Structure 1
Amino acid sequence: MFLTVDYSKCNQDGLCALECPAKIIAMDEKGPVVIEGGEDTCIHCGHCVAICPEAALRLDFLSPEACRVVDEKLHLPPDHVDHFLRSRRSIRTYRKKAVPPDVLERCLSLAAAAPTGSNRQSVKWLVVHDKKDVQTIAAHVIDWMRHVLTHAPEIAARLNMQKLIEAWEANIDRICRDAPHLIFAYALKENGIAKADCDTAIAYLELALPSFGLGSCWAGYVTFAVTQWPPLAAFLGVPDDHQVHGAVMVGYPKFTYKRIPPRNKANIVFFKE
C-alpha cells in the first residue's frame, strides 16, 4: 500500500490532508485516504507523516519511526537567530589545515536538508579535497581569464581580470584564496530550477559550517569559468548533461571576527492594490 493509516491511532484532525502540497489526501468517515491517481502525483515530501501528532500514517517509502522527532527545546529564539545570521562572515583567509572528509560529509548532509522545487532533491556535490587540485582549478581559471582578456577585453575589464592575473603571477591567489578545499553544487541541465536549488543548498551549507568551526566564501570566478572554459569542466569531470551552479571555498578560518558591521536597511514594500 502506498499510504497506510492506523485508524486506531488517527484522531481525524485532517492535518495530513490540509498540509499535503499535492492535495492527494482526502478525509472519509474513517480518516485519511489517497484520492484516485494520487500515488502518481505524490512529491515524496513526507509532510503527511511529519505532521501527524499520533504517528498514524506511513508511506511505502517513509515511516514515523524513520523520522527524527522535533525537539521544541532546540528551537532558537529570535535574538539567537539574529546574532547567528548577522555574525556570519565570508572567509578569505584560511589555516593550513585540512578538514577531515567525515566533517565535510556531516556539513553536506545538513545542506541536503535545503528545500528544493517540488522536492526533487536533485542537488549533487563535488568535493575537491586535495589542495593541489584546488590550485590546479585556480590555474584553469587564470587561463580562462587570459583568454577573455584577449578575446573580450571589455568583459575582462569589467571583472577586473588583469589585476587578478597579475596577482596570480606574483604568487597571490585571489581566485581560491589558498583555501584547502572547494565544494561544487551541480544538477541536471534539464532541471529548470536547478540554479535556485543549488544556490539554496549552498546557502544552507554556508550556515552549517560555522558550527563545525569552519568558514566559507563563494568562489564566483570559479563558477563563471567552469561553465565557459572546457579544460576546467573536463578536469572536474562533471557529466555533459549536468551544470555547475555554484562553488564555495571551505576551510578553518585563520582569524576570528570580533564585531558585526551594520548592513543597509532592508528595502521592503508591502503591496497594496
Structure 2
Amino acid sequence: MIDFTIDVETCIGCGQCASDCPAMIISMETGIPTIAPDLEQFCIRCMHCVAICSEGSVSIHGYGPQEGLVLASEQVTKPEQLEMLIKGRRSVRNYQDENLDPQLIDKLIEVASHAPSGHNDRQLLYTLVDDKGVVYDLREEAIDGLEKLIEEKKLPEGMEMFVDIIKAWKNSGTDILFRGAPHLLVVSAPQENAAPLQDCLIALTTFELYAQTYGIGTIWNGLAMLTISELVPALKKKLGIPEDHQIGYVMGFGYPAIQYERTIKRDKPQVHRVS
C-alpha cells in the first residue's frame, strides 16, 4: 500500500499531479486523483504529486504537504550567489585539526540525500568516519596494507606513487593519503541499482556544495578511493561497506586551515552544438 490520499475538501481537480507523475499511474477519470490498486507497484516514491499540488491536497507514503518546505521565490538562491559558490569551490588539502559538530555533519548528509538518483532508487549508503582519531587509525591500517603490497612486490603497475606517499608519512608525517582531513565520507550503492556510480557522484557533489555554505572544505580523494576499493580491500570490510556495493568515491572534509581569496580563470569550455 502506498497510502495515496486526497483531501477532497481542498482538491481543485487541476490534474497537475497526474500529468507530472513519471510512472503515469494517477488517473483523473473521476475528477479527483486516484491510483488503481494494481498500479501502486509502479510508484517510484518520487513524491512529485505532493510537491506539485498548489492546494496541498495530496499525501502519499505517509508524507503530506505539512512536512515539506514551501518553495518561496524570495528564498531561492540567486544566480550570482550560486555562480560564486560553484566558481569559488576549491579542493582543500590543508585542514584544521578538529572535529566538526556531529549535528552539522548529520545535516549535511540529510540535505545531500535529496540529490537526484537513477529511477529514484535512493539506496545509497553514506559510510561516515566522523572522528579524527578514527581517521588516524584508518590511515595507519592503510599504510600498513600498502607497505605489505610493496614488500611483496604486489603493488599494481602504475601505482608506484604510493611508495612516495608512504615515505612522506613515515619520514615527515606528511599525510598525502588522506590529506589531513578529520572526516571521511564514502558513498556506495548496490551494484544492481539503475545508476550506482552516478548516484554516488551526484550525492557527493551535492554534499560538497552545501558544505561550502558552512565554510567546510572538501577533497575528492582518489588516493583513498584506490586504497579502500582496490589496494587494501580489508579496509572496505572494516568500514562495513557491503560486498555487493559499488563505491562511488571517497571525500575528505573538515574546516580548512587556509582561505582562498578569489575565483580563478578556467579555459573556455568545449561545446559541440548540434543543429
* Fold in common (TM above 0.5): yes
The alpha carbon displacement at 1:91 in A equals 0.9
> Kindly tell me: are residues 93 and 121 of structure 1, through their superposed partners in 2, closer, same or farther at Cα, counting changes over 3 Å?
same
Deviations 1:16-38 (A, max 9, x none): 11110111112224232224622
The alpha carbon displacement at 1:161 in A equals 2.4
Residue of structure 2 equivalent to 1:235: 238
Residue of structure 1 equivalent to 2:213: 211
SS in 1 for 2:271: coil
SS in 2 for 1:244: strand
The alpha carbon displacement at 1:142 in A equals 3.2
Instruction: Identify the range of structure 1 (73-82 vs 130-139) with the bigger mean alpha-carbon deviation.
Output: 130-139
SS in 2 for 1:184: strand
Work out which of the residue numbers 257, 261, 265 in structure 1 matches 2:264: 261
Residues 219 and 247, structure 1, Cα contact 8 Å, conserved in 2: yes
SS in 2 for 1:155: coil
* CA RMSD, 1 decimal: 2.0
Residue of structure 2 equivalent to 1:45: 46
Residue of structure 2 equivalent to 1:184: 186
> Kindly tell me: are residues 155 and 256 of structure 1, through their superposed partners in 2, closer, same or farther at Cα, counting changes over 3 Å?
same
Aligned length: 270
Deviations 1:43-66 (A, max 9, x none): 111101110101122224221112
Within 5 Å, which residues of 2 pair with 1:17-28?
17-28=18-29
Instruction: Identify the range of structure 1 (190-199 vs 83-92) with the bigger mean alpha-carbon deviation.
Output: 190-199
* d(CA) in 2 for partners of 1:251, 1:36: 48
Residue of structure 1 equivalent to 2:134: 133
SS in 1 for 2:94: coil
Residues 121 and 194, structure 2, Cα contact 8 Å, conserved in 1: no
Deviations 1:111-148 (A, max 9, x none): 11111112221111122122232123223433454455
Instruction: Identify the range of structure 1 (165-174 vs 131-140) with the bigger mean alpha-carbon deviation.
Output: 131-140
Instruction: Identify the range of structure 1 (237-246 vs 170-179) with the bigger mean alpha-carbon deviation.
Output: 237-246
SS in 2 for 1:9: coil
- List alignment gaps of at least 5 residues for structure 2: none
* d(CA) in 1 for partners of 2:155, 2:239: 25
SS in 2 for 1:265: coil
> Kindly tell me: are residues 60 and 176 of structure 1, through their superposed partners in 2, closer, same or farther at Cα, counting changes over 3 Å?
closer
Q: Does 2:150 align with 1:156?
A: no
- List alignment gaps of at least 5 residues for structure 1: none
Q: Does 2:35 align with 1:34?
A: yes
Letter of the aligned partner of 2:158 in structure 1?
A: I
Residues 222 and 250, structure 2, Cα contact 8 Å, conserved in 1: yes
* d(CA) in 1 for partners of 2:61, 2:245: 30
Residues 98 and 132, structure 2, Cα contact 8 Å, conserved in 1: no
* d(CA) in 1 for partners of 2:196, 2:174: 33
The sequence identity of aligned pairs, in percent, is 31
Residues 123 and 186, structure 1, Cα contact 8 Å, conserved in 2: yes
Residues 119 and 194, structure 2, Cα contact 8 Å, conserved in 1: no
Output the TM-score relative to the length of structure 2.
Answer: 0.90
SS in 1 for 2:253: strand
Residues 189 and 196, structure 2, Cα contact 8 Å, conserved in 1: yes
